[in-house]
Structure 1
Amino acid sequence: MLTSLGIWDIAIIVFYFVIILWIAQWASRSKSESQGAVDYFLAGKNQGWLVVGASLFASNIGSEIILGVSGAGARANMPMANFEIIAALVLILLGWVFVPFYLRTGVYTMPEFLEKRYSKACRSYLSVISILAYVITKISLIIFAGALVFETIGVPFWTGAIITVIATGFYTVLGGLKAVIYTDMVQAVILLIGTIAVTWFGLHHLGGWNEMIQVISQASELPENPPVERFFNLWRPMLDTEYPWTGMLFGAPILGIWYWCTDQYIVQRTLSAKDVSNARKGALFAGYLKLLPVFIFFIPGVIAYALLQKGEISFSMENADQALPAMINGFLPMGLKGLAIAGLLAALMSSLSSAFNSSSTLLTIDFYQKYRPNASQKDLVRFGQLATIVLVIVSLGWIPFMKSLMGGGIFHYLQSVQAYISPPIAAVFLFGLLYKWINARGAIVALWTGFGIGIFRLVTEFLKNEGTIVVQNDSILGMFLGINFLHFALFLFIFCAVVLMLVSKMSQPQPDDVLEMVTFQRKSKRTGLKWSTDIILTIILIVLVLILWWIFSPWGMAG
């Protein structure tokens, strides 16, 4: 699928790259030499809520999210959009529950916090698993999606992948987290403008909302096409094989807690805030932004499906992740096409730069500094830059294996893999903050047990899809693999929580003085609720989520 770019399209894309590289250079020049690693990995710890919130949103919204969610729209898989809406609620947890502990302890990384709460063994576990997760669910997937974007403008897949890596890695290595979060802020604006423009122009070209509904309704008369109500319903029956409402309501938040509240990739942005108030407001701001993808990512996919039915654009429903590029390629006028591609590139580069920086932070702080405690600040920064290069090479090597697991599309792959590795981590963090009697032995046993079960599911599913092994559906293994991935996440979370509690009860508790900074302390004297801007913003955000859930339901206006 190739697209022809006009002079204004090329000018907009070039201008985008110039702005991003200029910001990266400015961030690099303004870096304080005395701060060293603090400035490089945590942007000097003096960022305001607007920068933190925009960076949280831009880091999360990569090309893989945009292409995956729009592809879900074309497939009539609206429950996928629930991951975006639920993220808004989980970001409330990040701001109110987790952030105060992270900033109070002054940690650089999440594994470092886990050591303060539990032990060095738990820190080592999370460091290794996080880096593994970045390779199989973040860096390689972002590169893969970025290569698809480059294919849209006629660049071969692997050439696009290499360009993606070099362009993004350059400014990430140059300026560290400060370059990442300030470019994120600009890229968030660009990707919002680009996707809003595509949505508006696509709907206008189609003839409006009512015309879209009519086209989809006519198409649904054919048995191979989904009914129109399936495009606008977030909730499916409990026995649905893909997105049951029980799995979405109780399983998806577990993935969210791991991703938004305990993952270095995301939390590092809040660690750069100047104080708890700015970190919390940044998380809430990102929560509001996370309500937008339903309208600017998912709905364009539905529009693309309607345009496909009218013969206005062309793409294969077997590869519906190409729905949005097909819209860009199909009819956008000169200038707007360049803006849309710049938006996709902005999403791509912001997510990839965040993954690079968080990966290098983990490798530097949790491994290199641990074994070389006397390393200079300059040595730490240099090692972080080198670590990024190594991770890029490994991630490129994972892409061929990743393709075999992506039968349900990019976004489905991302969420299903996270469902296999996130429950034990979410359980250890959440219960560790709430209960002082949860100890290091319980945590490490729960982590490794949950990891073993999750990886067994991932590997056997891969072998089954490849045809390496044959599994009967009525066998024990067949029933194990047949569990919906969201239900699997819920069951694994409960199992790990039980293991965590039982082992902790059977072993020696940790000293109270060690846990003072990393667990909730029960106060004997209760104070009344004090209204604040943060509380009001939180309540409004919850209400908006409930409204969206009602609108896109069988009983709501869209349903």
Structure 2
Amino acid sequence: MTLVTFVFFTALVAVLTWVFTRKADHHTGVGFFLAGRSLTFPFIAGSLLLTNLSTEQMVGLNGDAFTHGLCVMAWEVVAVVALVAMALFFLPRFLKSGVTTVPEFLEMRFDKTTQVLTNLIFLAAYAVILLPIILYTGATGLLDILNVPELTGIHDRRTLLYLIVIVVALIGSVYALWGGLKSVAFSDTLNGIGLYIGGLLITYFALVKLGNGSFMTGLDVLPQEVKPNAFNSIGGPHTTAPFFTLFTGILLINVFYWCTNQQIIQRTFGASSLAEGQKGVLLTGAFKLVGPLFLVLPGIIAYALLKNEVTASNQAYGKLVQLVLPNYLAGFFAAAMLGAILSSFNSALNSTCTLFSLGLYKRLLRPDGTDAEVVKSGRWFGWIITIVAIVIAPMLDNMQNIFQYLQEMNAIYFIPILAVVVVGMLSKRVPAIAANVALVAGVAVIAIGYFMPGIKEYVVQMQKYHFISVVFVLLVAGMYLYGAVRPLKEAWVQYEARAVDMTPWKYAVHIGVLLLVVVAAIYVWFADFSVLQDVPAETPIATQLVE
């Protein structure tokens, strides 16, 4: 029954996607990479959500909650702040220039070198960090939820890991490399509905299990069965989301991710108008407020039910699903999980192809290439990147905290690119040389801080999220200082492409403010600041911050 329902729901999404997008333009650059600039707000929101929501969150964030409690909701709730910034500040500027990629915008603002550097940084990060992690966490999640060893008769974990990684990568590649952004966005929306329903059902069934058949009893019992401060929104310095980092590294990583990360914001570039884009982004923010109910709460419940059985936090969610999910729903939920994995993978792969085709192939290798040649180059490059990701993914099998690893590795390239985009949008006279040096220096400094002995230990004491915020401030200040000493002779004027209707949604500011108020209310409601006094002796920087 599990296998039948899994295949049925997976095939249903594929068939519906083919039926509704088969006549779309898959042969021109705008059609393949931007869905012909035809996306409306439901598809933008659905695609944004499911591109973001994958097993590195379902497994990783719930694993963090198993260990650290509610404070890890920061990754979901602070994202709302970034989405408001995207809707009101970043998106209007991107759509005004009619760009297809973030590096293309930076070329308009600075020069071709800035565009090439940003492209190369994105491509390297997606190939060796993002895509392998998506495949690995997806494979491990499906291993547990589908109980693949029993279904296949293969009990060697390494073999199964490779097989699932290959299958997921191949299916995701078909969506991304043949269907283009429109197919990706449509399938994301269908899978997003399934995953939201499935995720909330896991929380419901887990509480019923905890309450011995009663949902309300489960709610009453839960606070008594978990660690102290498990429901505290304020993270102490010993957690993976310390409170002060909400205003430094965690905020910056979220702003980059939702405002300048090509994998995520590409579907907003395909909006049919600024108003549709803003509605889609803000609707995503509203849905993110619901996220902790199935991305954090199940991890806390897993501690109450399985604290004596889980040896590694990344196992918590899979074991919880096995324990509480009825057999008749296992296939549906596994199909929804596969949809989430495919969504994140094919979106990242589609963005990788876009960056290569439009940023390197069209700009450097074949400036006179036709639209068909540009799309074809992207497809070939996509297959190469897929193979690289397949090879790397199983090597992550011994990673203890995959979600934390992903965020820290992302910061290496997130922070320099964000600094350059922000300065590019806010300044008029900072020259290209300042941006180019900031990109290279930012990546180098963060990588040295993370990996070089001696310096690495100091960064750990300082708290990595504070470290990257200091780097961000230094990069921005350095660019502005250079611009003050050697400014552009003529102030930069942003090009207006008139690619879409730029009339803003009349309720955008009102809804944005409302979302920010709700974020603050959530934190205040669950806050207990006494944990900030619990400062380990080995973190002198944190002690100084509290004092």
Q: Same-fold call, TM > 0.5?
A: yes
Return 43-52 or 248-257, whichever deviates more: 248-257
- Paired letter, 1:254: L
- 1:291-333 Cα distance to aligned partner (Å, 9 max, x none): 1221111101111111114x7xx432x2x22222112212321
**d(CA) in 1 for partners of 2:168, 2:76:** 25
- Paired letter, 1:502: L
1:18 paired residue number: 11
1:324 has 2:303 as partner: no
**d(CA) in 1 for partners of 2:456, 2:228:** 36
Answer yes or no: is the 8 Å Cα contact 1:242–1:484 preserved in 2: no
1:131 has 2:105 as partner: no
Aligned residue for 2:59, secondary structure, equals: helix
**d(CA) in 2 for partners of 1:214, 1:444:** 56
Can you give the 5+ residue segments of structure 1 that lack an aligned partner in the other structure?
Answer: 1-6, 221-226, 461-470, 519-529
User: 1:267: Cα distance to partner?
Assistant: 1.1
User: 1:11: Cα distance to partner?
Assistant: 3.1
1:271 paired residue number: 269
2:517 paired residue number: 543
- 1:421-460 Cα distance to aligned partner (Å, 9 max, x none): 2222111111221121222121111111111111223443
Return 354-363 or 499-508, whichever deviates more: 499-508
Answer yes or no: is the 8 Å Cα contact 1:57–1:286 preserved in 2: yes
Give the number of equivalent residue pairs: 507
User: 1:171: Cα distance to partner?
Assistant: 2.2
- Paired letter, 2:388: V
Answer yes or no: is the 8 Å Cα contact 2:231–2:526 preserved in 1: yes
User: 1:353: Cα distance to partner?
Assistant: 1.0
**d(CA) in 2 for partners of 1:435, 1:77:** 41
Aligned with 2:369 (options 370, 375, 385): 375
Aligned with 2:189 (options 177, 185, 188): 185
1:142 paired residue number: 134
- 1:96-127 Cα distance to aligned partner (Å, 9 max, x none): 11111111111111101100011111101110
User: 1:212: Cα distance to partner?
Assistant: 6.0
Answer yes or no: is the 8 Å Cα contact 1:27–1:175 preserved in 2: no
Q: Percent of pairs identical after alignment?
A: 27
- Paired letter, 1:192: Y
- Paired letter, 1:133: A
After superposition, the Cα gap between the structure-2 partners of 1:296 and 1:246, relative to the gap in structure 1 and judged at 3 Å, is same
User: 1:32: Cα distance to partner?
Assistant: 3.1
TM-score using structure 1 length: 0.86
**d(CA) in 2 for partners of 1:166, 1:401:** 19
Aligned with 1:357 (options 350, 353, 356): 350
Answer yes or no: is the 8 Å Cα contact 1:41–1:177 preserved in 2: yes
Answer yes or no: is the 8 Å Cα contact 2:257–2:264 preserved in 1: yes
**d(CA) in 1 for partners of 2:333, 2:123:** 32
- Paired letter, 1:500: M
1:335 has 2:339 as partner: no
Can you give the 5+ residue segments of structure 2 that lack an aligned partner in the other structure?
Answer: 150-159, 497-503, 531-547
Which structure has more relative contact order (CA 8 Å, sep 6+)? It is: 2
**d(CA) in 1 for partners of 2:59, 2:90:** 30
After superposition, the Cα gap between the structure-2 partners of 1:402 and 1:39, relative to the gap in structure 1 and judged at 3 Å, is same
1:527 paired residue number: none
1:398 has 2:372 as partner: no
Answer yes or no: is the 8 Å Cα contact 2:73–2:296 preserved in 1: yes
Aligned with 2:494 (options 489, 493, 516): 516
- 1:184-216 Cα distance to aligned partner (Å, 9 max, x none): 110110100100111111111111466566466
After superposition, the Cα gap between the structure-2 partners of 1:52 and 1:531, relative to the gap in structure 1 and judged at 3 Å, is closer
Aligned residue for 1:383, secondary structure, equals: helix
1:416 has 2:390 as partner: no
**Mapping for residues 125-274 of structure 1, pairs under 5 Å:** 125-152=117-144, 153=146, 154=148, 156-207=160-211, 208=215, 211=218, 214=221, 217=224, 227-229=227-229, 231-237=230-236, 239-240=237-238, 242-274=240-272
1:523 paired residue number: none
After superposition, the Cα gap between the structure-2 partners of 1:477 and 1:189, relative to the gap in structure 1 and judged at 3 Å, is closer
User: 1:401: Cα distance to partner?
Assistant: 5.3
After superposition, the Cα gap between the structure-2 partners of 1:401 and 1:438, relative to the gap in structure 1 and judged at 3 Å, is farther
User: 1:339: Cα distance to partner?
Assistant: 2.3
TM-score using structure 2 length: 0.88
**Mapping for residues 296-311 of structure 1, pairs under 5 Å:** 296-309=294-307
**d(CA) in 1 for partners of 2:469, 2:201:** 38
After superposition, the Cα gap between the structure-2 partners of 1:328 and 1:98, relative to the gap in structure 1 and judged at 3 Å, is same
